[in-house]
Each structure stands twice: as C-alpha cells, then as structure tokens.
Structure 1
Amino acid sequence: MYTLRGHHLFCLLGYRGIGYSKEYAENMTRLHQTLRNNPKTMIRLVNGPDELCEKYPNTAEYHCQNDDIYKRDAAILSKLGLKIGQILSWAEIESNVRNYIVPSDIQTVCVTCSWRAYGVCEEGIKESIEGKGLRKIK
C-alpha cells in the first residue's frame, strides 16, 4: 500500500518522467509504473507529506508543508469526492476522476502550481476520462 496526498493524484495523471531531481523522478516513475501496471494497488490518502514528498530534493525550498499545498490537496480530494484516511485502489481513484473531473479543473484547483503551464495534467485527466489509464513512461 502507498500513501498519497490529494494533489499527487493529479500529478500522477500528468507525469511524463521528469521531476524536481533525478531521485524524485526515479521515485515518481517507480510509483507511476506500479499503478499503471497494477491499478488494483491500494492507496491510503493522507494529510500532508507522502511517499513522493520523501524524495523532494533538499536543494530546493521544501514546499510540501506550505499552506497552499494543503489547500490544493483538500480542493482536489473534495472534487474527487474522497477523504483523508480513505483507502482505495488506484482503479477506484481513476473511476472518480472519470466521474467528477474535467480537464479544465486544473486551471482552478492547481492555479498556483508551477507545472500547470505545461498542460500535461490536463492531458492526463483527458486520457483518464477516455479510459486510457496512466501513460507509459519512456
């Protein structure tokens, strides 16, 4: 079982193999591929830093504890109809994405995210809605 915070659910949908550091990207790729290959993998939703935050580089400002990030987590979980402490499979999370999210939601719930401008999370949500699942990382 993995622990994930709210906004990382969207980050995983948009993930394309790059990140804040080599170690962060390797960790994200490992989790992404696990979920892609086995959507029945269980996830526990947490309030605050998760397994992806653990590899955030110490050479950058640690934003994982910022109030803005907690607000983004809460907004995304609310949109998905999910709650902190809930345990569910990645497939169930993707089902909630298909049922409750549209790609343009990124523009409001992730307005302060530096990755938003790349459009990859909107693409990932669109692909999830189309039933394609997580994209293969090359």
Structure 2
Amino acid sequence: MYKLRGHHLFCLLGYRGMGYSQEYVENMTIVHQTLRKNPKTLVQIVKGPDHLCEKYPNNGKYHCEDGSIFERDTLILEKVGIRIGNILRWEDIELRIKKYVIPSDIQTVCESCSWRSYGVCEEGIQEILDGKGLREVN
C-alpha cells in the first residue's frame, strides 16, 4: 500500500519521468509504474508528506510542508470526494477522477504549481477520461 497526499493523485497522472532529483524520479517512477501495472494497488490518503515526499531533495525550504501544498491537497481531495485516511484501490481513484474532473481543472486547483505550464497533467486527466489509465514512462 502506498501513502499519498491529495495533490500527488494529479501529479501521478501527469508524470512523464521528470522530477526534482534523480532519486525523486526513480521513486516516482516505481510508484507510477506499480499503479499503472496493478491498478488494484491500495492507496491510503494522508495529510502532509507521503511516500513521494520521502525522496524530495533536501536543498533548503522543504516544499512538502509548504502551506500552499496543503491547500492544493485539500482542493484536489474535495474535487474527487476523497478524505484523509481513506484507503482505496488506484483504479477507484481513477474512477473518481473520471467522474469529477476535467482537464481544465488543473488551471485552478494547481494554479501555483511550477509543473502546470508543461500541460502534462491535463493530458493525464484526458487519458483517464479516455479510459487509457496511467501512461507508460520509459
């Protein structure tokens, strides 16, 4: 079971093998590919730093404890109707995204995210809506 915070549910949709450090990318790729290959994998929703934050580089201010990140977590969890502490299969999270989210939601719920300008999260949401699941990352 992976422990994930709210905004990482969307980050995983847009993940294309880029990240904050090599260690972070390796960790995110493992989580992403596990969920892609086994959508029945359980995910527990947590408040604050999660499995992905564990590998965030320690190079100054700890991004994972920033107030704006907690706000983004809350917005995304509200959008998909999931609460902190919930344990769901990844495929059920994808179903909630399919039901409650559209690509343009990224522009508001992830407004301050530095990765938003790449457009990959909107693509990831569209792929979920199209029934494709998570994209394979090489």
What TM-score, normalized to structure 1?
A: 0.99
SS of 1:92's partner is helix
Cα separation, 2, equivalents of 1:60 and 1:125: 32
Per the TM alignment, residue 60 of structure 1 is displaced from its structure 2 partner at its CA by: 4.7
Deviations 1:70-129 (A, max 9, x none): 000000000001100000000000000000000000000000000000000000000001
Residue 61 of structure 2 is matched in structure 1 by 61
Whether 1:72 and 2:86 are equivalent positions in the alignment is no
Cα separation, 2, equivalents of 1:25 and 1:62: 17
Report the identity percentage.
64
Residue identity opposite 1:28 in structure 2: M
Per the TM alignment, residue 59 of structure 1 is displaced from its structure 2 partner at its CA by: 2.1
Whether 1:25 and 2:25 are equivalent positions in the alignment is yes
SS of 1:124's partner is helix
Residue 130 of structure 1 is matched in structure 2 by 130
Cα separation, 2, equivalents of 1:61 and 1:31: 24
Residue 5 of structure 1 is matched in structure 2 by 5
Greater CA deviation, 16-25 or 55-64? 55-64
Residue 112 of structure 1 is matched in structure 2 by 112
Structure 2, unaligned runs of 5 or more: none
User: Structure 1 stretches (4+) deviating beyond 2 angstroms?
Assistant: none
Per the TM alignment, residue 62 of structure 1 is displaced from its structure 2 partner at its CA by: 1.4
What TM-score, normalized to structure 2?
A: 0.99
Residue identity opposite 2:55 in structure 1: K
Cα separation, 1, equivalents of 2:71 and 2:59: 24
